Amino acid sequence: LRQVRYLNNIVEQDHRFIKKRVRSMLGFKSYKTATSIVSGVEAMHMIKKGQIDLQNQSV
């Protein structure tokens, strides 16, 4: 029985969703585009995991 080494690392587990998105896009042409897309993916992942409380914030 062989374990996948990278799935044991908590940081790698958290970034695997970002890696999945970036691989499908075949890279980015500019740094500005990369930072905006990666920060959006990270924000959506944090909302999904319940790390951000959106109920007590005003618009």
Per-residue model confidence (pLDDT) at position 8? 64
Rounded Cα distance, 22 and 38, in Å: 8
Would you state the structure tokens that stand for residue 11, as one six-digit string?
């940081």
pLDDT digit string (tens) for 8-49?
Answer: 676 666 777 777 777 777 777 888 888 888 888 888 888 887
10 is written with which tokens? Answer: 């908590």
pLDDT at 23: 74
Running DSSP on this structure, what letter comes out for residue 26? Answer: T
Amino acid 57: pLDDT: 66
pTM for the whole structure: 0.55
Split at pLDDT 50, 70, 90, the class of 55 is confident
Contact between residue 20 and residue 41 where contact means Cβ atoms under 8 Å apart? no
Dihedral pair phi/psi, residue 28, rounded to 5°: -125, 150
